[in-house]
Amino acid sequence: MKPDSTRTEELPIYASLIRERGDVVEEARAVAEETQHQMTQALNGVAPTPHETGAP
């Protein structure tokens, strides 16, 4: 198997699932990055704004 053989553009099943269900991996990555940002701010003593906490 070639090292680049697992790229998403070469995996029609994966591309099909993304079209049908959305890119769950990318969504999880975005949530993890936002959570990490919020936790860094919390550990630094920065109060979150209402937008960051999801409050209206």
**Structure-block tokens of residue 27:** 């969504």
What is the per-residue pLDDT for 7? 57
Encoded tokens for 29 = 């990555």
Q: What is the DSSP letter of 9?
A: G
The whole-model pTM stands at 0.54
pLDDT tens string for the chain (56 positions)?
A: 455 555 555 788 888 888 898 999 899 999 999 999 999 999 998 876 666 556 66
Tokens encoding 9: 């553009």
